[in-house]
Structure 1
């Protein structure tokens, strides 16, 4: 039978356990914050991509612009969009030229406290009035 001295059966002190728990808590907090930021960034990227698709879809709906211009707005899946047009100045060209209009589509998304927006611009031809229509 062997007798062990009390020093040989020594375990962790309360202070060592508290320090270990504090280090573990800090590590978990940093990991949680990092993963939360990554999830937020992915969600932001998905919303941005959806807004760009919405703007492209609105642009694709128009083949041309009437002489008076256009203003349209709507909501698609929680995203508000607006389309505005304005005559685009052309330099003097020899011969007839098709008048162009600048088309801007703005899509707003995100929470009301931190709204974000995407603007796509394009040029579209002016639609010719039907024959016999007053100008």
Structure 2
């Protein structure tokens, strides 16, 4: 009366080796997928830091552009988010002919550097521009 289910030809199950191989493949795929996901999250965080820094640098450059009386100097500060900025304005070197022609207008070299700490690494963004100001 009792029938042995395992003796039927079409009802064969998985062997232990097949199950272990399937788990090994699954573990490898999951490890690779999680590694890619982790790298993506890290890159997204890094890009967000650069976007904030560029925004601060552009804002500082715009503030300098609105100032009609440019003067050589160095200014620095820090945002509420902890981004440190340094603005440097210097007279752009010119030749003798250019000095004679442009006494009323002086070209200034403007540099804005924004630095911040991210994952124990110092990161920075630097933008440069040449602005025209009143002669000396």
Do both proteins adopt the same fold according to a TM-score greater than 0.5, normalized to the shorter chain? yes
Instruction: Describe the SS at the equivalent of 1:83.
Output: strand
Q: Does 1:90 align with 2:91?
A: no
Among 70, 93, 105, the alignment partner of 1:65 is 70
Among 103, 110, 114, the alignment partner of 2:110 is 103
Q: Looking at secondary structure, tell me which structure has more strand per residue.
A: 2
Instruction: Describe the SS at the equivalent of 2:35.
Output: helix
Q: How far apart are the structure 2 equivalents of 1:49 and 1:118?
A: 10
Count of aligned pairs between the two proteins:
127
List aligned pairs for 1:25-104, cutoff 5 A: 25-62=27-64, 63=67, 64-66=69-71, 69-76=72-79, 77-91=81-95, 92-93=97-98, 94-95=100-101, 96-104=103-111
Residues 112, 39 of structure 1: alpha-carbon distance in 2 compared, 3 angstrom cutoff? closer
Residues 101, 19 of structure 1: alpha-carbon distance in 2 compared, 3 angstrom cutoff? same
Q: How far apart are the structure 2 equivalents of 1:29 and 1:4?
A: 38
TM-fit CA distance, 1:25: 0.6
Q: Looking at secondary structure, tell me which structure has more helix per residue.
A: 2
Note if contact 2:106-2:135 (Cα within 8 Å) is conserved in structure 1: no
Unaligned 5+ residue runs, structure 2? Answer: none
Unaligned 5+ residue runs, structure 1? Answer: 130-135
Q: How far apart are the structure 1 equivalents of 2:117 and 2:36?
A: 21
Note if contact 2:53-2:115 (Cα within 8 Å) is conserved in structure 1: yes
TM-fit CA distance, 1:41: 1.6
Q: Please give the root-mean-square deviation of Cα atoms over the aligned residues, in Å.
A: 2.4
